[in-house]
Structure 1
Amino acid sequence: MASDTTTGARGPYAKTAAVRQRILEAGMQCFAQVGYFATSLNDIADRAGISRRGLGHHFKSKEELLTEVLDQRQDEDAELIRHTTGLDSLAAVLTVSTLNTERPGLIQLYSLLRADATATEHPAHDHHRLQYDRLRQYLVRAFDEVRAAGQLASDEDSGTLASTYLALMDGLQIQWLYNRENTDIDRVLRSYLRSVIPEFPSATAHSTPVDAVPTVST
């Protein structure tokens, strides 16, 4: 029997997992191109190369599929920033922002959904609201730790610094979608961090493998 070398799964289970992942990728691409409301499950099934009935075996609704797409990516990003403190926390968030440029569809999806999902009836509204709240809390904690270590060269409160960092990340991603050649997300974010934390590394994230991002257990 053929095996899935990534998960160790075998036979029908491996095939089912592969099809499910293909549906998620197709969903991400469709949502990114035309938005949630303009996308149909038939569109996603066609892109995934399966029947509408086959898609229904994995996801009962478009809302369920969108939720899974968002949750999966959030889990992947969380792995990169978990168990970090201070400078390492800020560096990890910067790395996530830079790595996202390797998946343009993902940035396009989040940029589109974050605008659409401001409507409370949007199925992704709570996801994005909680994501912003949690990431802001994470950044506030990181700036507080940098301040406590005597590394912060700013009189602004940590909440303001965190909100500025979040605004820069979102704004730069939109600029990058319009002009990728002249928008260096890593350089601009790193410049902002160095303006308030002189000790922040000047090396670019492009030259630092993900596995090399320092982590500190909390």
Structure 2
Amino acid sequence: MTTTPAAPSTKRGPYAKSKQRRESIVTAAHEVFAARGYRGGSLQDVADKVGMSQTSLLHYFPSKSDLLLAVLNWRDTVTGGGHPRDPEESLVDAVVRQARFNETVPGVIELYAVLCAESITDNHPGLDFFTERYERLRRSYFRAFSALADEGRLRPGVDPGQAAASLIALWDGIQTQWLMAPGDVDMAGCLRAYLELVVLPE
């Protein structure tokens, strides 16, 4: 006697539903924090966006700071869509590509600009996140500029560490200007122009 194997169940279990709910909360929190900042955006604002009570929201994220960190990590996951850098891709092209990609993802630049600036205020839960992020970025770009120096492609007198910190500062600053006047500021173009000042052509 043979039996026909049962078709796999298509029902979503409790874990899947919980994961979906967490994602919807993080997406809503991203919108709230990008528009109002961490201080100005409340858990109630987030709960209202997803149509649930604040008490129910706290079941998924026990505190507002837990939710903030989830949003920041989600933001990095989303912008990771512009990565990774291909080994054959130049530093200049990789930076420009990432900048252009970020422009296409609604809210991620706003979120970064607002929360990064706000993180230096007293007792902000995002301070460690942004401090570690800057340290990681400086190390990464320092390695990239140092490799260019070893290849003889960094202009004379350019210090890899200073170039790395300057690139990050320019990127953050040009993002703010782009947010204020997106039609007037070419963010990726400004980044390319800076890099072409310090990096010699192949």
* C-alpha distance in structure 2 between counterparts of 1:32 and 1:193, whole Å: 29
* C-alpha distance in structure 1 between counterparts of 2:88 and 2:191, whole Å: 16
* C-alpha distance in structure 1 between counterparts of 2:166 and 2:111, whole Å: 22
Cα 1:101/1:77, change in 2 over 3 Å: closer
* C-alpha distance in structure 1 between counterparts of 2:85 and 2:34, whole Å: 31
Displacement of 1:16? 1.8
May I ask how many residue pairs the two structures share in their alignment?
194
Displacement of 1:150? 1.7
Point out the more displaced range, 106-115 or 27-36: 106-115
Pair 1:133-2:135 in alignment:
yes
Percent of pairs with identical residues: 36
* C-alpha distance in structure 2 between counterparts of 1:156 and 1:191, whole Å: 15
Residues 51-130 of structure 1 mapped to structure 2, 5 A cutoff: 51-77=53-79, 80-81=82-83, 88-130=90-132
Q: Is the 8 A contact 2:138 2:164 kept in 1?
A: yes
Residues 194-209 of structure 1 mapped to structure 2, 5 A cutoff: 194-199=196-201
Q: Is the 8 A contact 2:96 2:189 kept in 1?
A: no
TM-score by length of 1: 0.79
Q: Which residue of 1 aligns with 2:5?
A: none
What letter corresponds to residue 145 of structure 1 in structure 2? A
Displacement of 1:104? 4.2
CA shift digits 1:67-109 (9 cap, x unpaired): 1111222244457555766964554343332222123422112
User: Which protein shows a greater Rg?
Assistant: 2
Q: Which residue of 2 aligns with 1:178?
A: 180
Q: Which residue of 1 aligns with 2:160?
A: 158
* C-alpha distance in structure 1 between counterparts of 2:122 and 2:54, whole Å: 29
Higher relative contact order (CA 8 A, sep 6+): 1
